[in-house]
């Protein structure tokens, strides 16, 4: 069964450093998403991406965040200058065209900022 994959599973970085989180969405899906989940809190939407551009973003997704689809399979989230409060699980998700209500999530990357 096709699935969303994410790397790395755990990333530790120092405050102020840049990190890139990587995702491989399900191959025939056209919509891609990033969510985050701070420990003990609910899953929060960050951004959605379609046709090589951001289609929607939340208030959390400020100028320090960016997304990119560098090739036909990968989808990345970059955090330019990490803060302690960026420590969270980051989930990538994807959905097929016209089926945004069927989002499939990856296993997540645990980001720890020290």
Residues of this chain that bind another protein (CB under 8 A): 4, 6, 31, 33, 35, 41-45, 48, 50, 55-56, 58, 89, 91, 95, 100-108, 110
Report the residue number, 31 or 65, with the smaller CB distance to another protein: 31
Report the residue number, 14 or 51, with the smaller CB distance to another protein: 51
> Least distance to another protein from the beta carbon of 31, Å?
6
Report the residue number, 9 or 14, with the smaller CB distance to another protein: 9
Torsional class of 51: left (φ above 0), alpha (ψ -120 to 50), beta (otherwise)? left
Of the CA atoms within 13 Å of residue 23, those in its CB half-sphere come to 30
Q: CB burial class (10 A; 0-12, 13-18, 19+) of residue 42?
A: exposed
> Least distance to another protein from the beta carbon of 16, Å?
27
Angle in degrees, CA 75, 94, 25, rounded to 5: 45
CB contact set of 16 (below 8 Å; sequence gap of 6+): 81, 82
| Torsions phi, psi for 86 (to 5 deg) | -80, -5
> Least distance to another protein from the beta carbon of 100, Å?
4
Report the residue number, 14 or 41, with the smaller CB distance to another protein: 41
> Least distance to another protein from the beta carbon of 107, Å?
5
């Amino acid at each position: 069964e096709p699935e969303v994959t994410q790397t790395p599973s755990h990333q530790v970085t120092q405050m102020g450093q840049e990190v890139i989180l990587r995702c491989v969405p399900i191959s025939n899906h056209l919509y891609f998403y990033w969510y985050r989940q701070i420990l003990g809190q609910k899953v929060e939407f960050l951004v959605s991406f379609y046709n090589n551009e951001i289609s929607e973003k939340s208030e959390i997704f400020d100028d320090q965040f960016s997304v990119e689809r560098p090739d036909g399979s990968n989808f990345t989230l970059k955090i330019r200058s990490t803060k302690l409060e960026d420590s969270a699980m980051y989930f990538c998700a994807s959905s097929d065209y016209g089926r945004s209500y069927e989002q499939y999530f990856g296993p997540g990357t645990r980001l720890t900022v020290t």
